[in-house]
Amino acid sequence: MAGSLFRTKSIERLMADGEGTGEGTLKRTLGAMSLIALGIGAIIGAGLFVRTAAAIAERAGPSVTIAFLVAGLGCAFAGLCYAEFASMIPIAGSAYTYSYATMGELVAWIIGWDLVLEYAVGAATVAIAWAEYFNKVLEYVGLNVPWVWCHSPLEHLASDPTVHGYMNIPAVGILLVLSLLLIRGTQESAFVNSLIVVTKVAIVIAVITIGWGFINPANHTPFIPAATTYTTHEGITHQYGGIMGILGAAGVVFFAFIGFDAVSTAAQEAKNPKRDMPIGILGSLVICTILYVLFSYVLSGVATVDDFRTAGREASVTFAISKYMIGYEWLGKSVTIAILAGFSSVILVMLLGQSRVFYSMSRDGLVPKVFSDTHPRFKTPYKSNMLFFVFTALFAAFIPGDIVGEMTSIGTLFAFMLVCTGVWIMRVRRPDLARGFTVPMLPVVAVLGIAVCGAMIYGLGWTNWLRLGVWLAIGLVFYFSYGIRHSKLSAER
């Protein structure tokens, strides 16, 4: 029994499965630039436009800039490991596939289940943020969605605690539209995503360049606040300021980096994966890290910490522009629209990543076959897309975004640690395999990736550790009741 839990799937078997033809296979349609755009589309979104303000208010103040550097450093180490894996094993499934080849079936199941936090729950989180900005756009034309129909039952009006939401209809609507787009085809989805990427990157650069002139040096003093604590409106206490504040903020803004690894889930649809996957992963990560550091420096300099704790808590970027950047009201409206488009592309790539992970797990027999059934015309896992629409819609409709945001971060950090471990193991076990990209200074890079991601997990606090443990326990129940009995690798032995 113990041996079967850690059985590995050979690289040769993985490659043979991925290079098949006919029904049940995916079309190779994506080039390097499409993959970079896919990565940027996944990365720039709710993390930058929503979680940055939360990190400033609750964790680090202006030192959120340092937090972005810490988070970017952890992602860089993990990204290098992802790039080697993706160039060596260009198969759909991301960290799940890599874990199956290096650490065995049980670990692969754990990581596949953990990735639901990153992709599906993450998509729901962003959809909730999308709904907030959608209502802001409607206000520009004199319309609005009633408060009770764009908030969950667990939320109440600040002015009247007796009034609770019913469900978040706009969040469900955007999830449905993007799920249908993914069913239509990956190439078409990538084209739409590329248009969105150009728009939102232009807006981010505009905020940086224009906002730089409105920075108030007093808002950056002291740059690293003294260590203390801050209690949120929900009664949750966080470490604020000092080293722990920066680490906690890094864990919070880490959500802003979620997505670059989603590029690796599309490896089986890349035209030249050995060359294009490293370019797509590392290229999107470098571009976004530079933009993030500059953007967070400007945002924390334009508005105060108290702003982000009170009136500027929601739609924080638009609030900062409208209050402090006098004469640039047009930019505030443009940012709101760009944020809406940006959130859409993030949801798109997260839904793409989730369906591709379960596509691989289904092909291995660890989850039901329905997740790998492909559309006869579009060659996309359409049934999986619709099932995950239902799953994400339930989260988005009935649960507040702040409950799942940090859970998404901790799940992804855990996945990154396993990827760093796996590439080290594979270098020792199979040094003979051809690699289109090789991680420099291994095992140093892998150890640093594990250490930095582990530090961010530590900074997120025990409540998030507990949530991750409960989620993984639920996954183990599914594995031992279904996956281990239907595993194709087990049946062949």
pTM equals: 0.77
Residue 18 contacts residue 268 (beta carbons within 8 Å):
yes
* pLDDT over 80 at 184, yes or no: no
pLDDT bucket at 493, cuts 50 / 70 / 90: low
Residue 367 CA to residue 360 CA, distance in Å, equals 9
Cis ω before 443 (30° cut-off from 0): yes
Tokens standing for 230? 């801050």
What average pLDDT score do residues 246-262 get? 81
* Residue-wise pLDDT tens digits, 109-138: 888 888 888 788 888 988 988 888 888 788
* Residue-wise pLDDT tens digits, 272-293: 766 777 788 778 888 888 899 9
Q: What radius of gyration, in Å, describes the C-alpha atoms of the chain?
A: 22
Residue 391 CA to residue 179 CA, distance in Å, equals 12
- The pLDDT assigned to 356 comes to 79
Which amino acid is located at 100 in the chain? Y
Residue 258 contacts residue 408 (beta carbons within 8 Å):
yes
- The pLDDT assigned to 220 comes to 94
- The pLDDT assigned to 454 comes to 92
- The H-assigned helical ranges of 6-92 are 11-18, 32-43, 46, 52-55, 64-88
Q: Which helix (H) or strand (E) holds 460?
A: helix 444-460
Q: Residue 250: which of 458, 471, 469, 467 has the closest Cα?
A: 458
Backbone φ, ψ for residue 375 (5° rounding): -65, 135
Residue 472: count other Cβ atoms within 10 Å of its Cβ.
17
Label the pairing between strands 160-164 and 237-240.
unpaired
- The pLDDT assigned to 24 comes to 45
Residue 312 contacts residue 88 (beta carbons within 8 Å):
no
Q: To the nearest whole number, what is the mean pLDDT of the chain?
A: 81
- The pLDDT assigned to 23 comes to 43
SS3 content of the chain, % helix, strand, coil (to 5): 75, 5, 25
Q: Which CATH class is domain 2-491?
A: mainly alpha
- The H-assigned helical ranges of 64-158 are 64-88, 95-102, 105-116, 122-140
Structure-model confidence comparison of residues 256 and 228, the more confident one: 228
* Residue-wise pLDDT tens digits, 16-56: 655 544 444 555 666 777 778 777 776 776 678 878 888 89
Residue 413: count other Cβ atoms within 10 Å of its Cβ.
30
Domain spans of the chain?
Answer: 2-491
Max mean pLDDT among 59-63, 350-354, 426-430 falls in 59-63
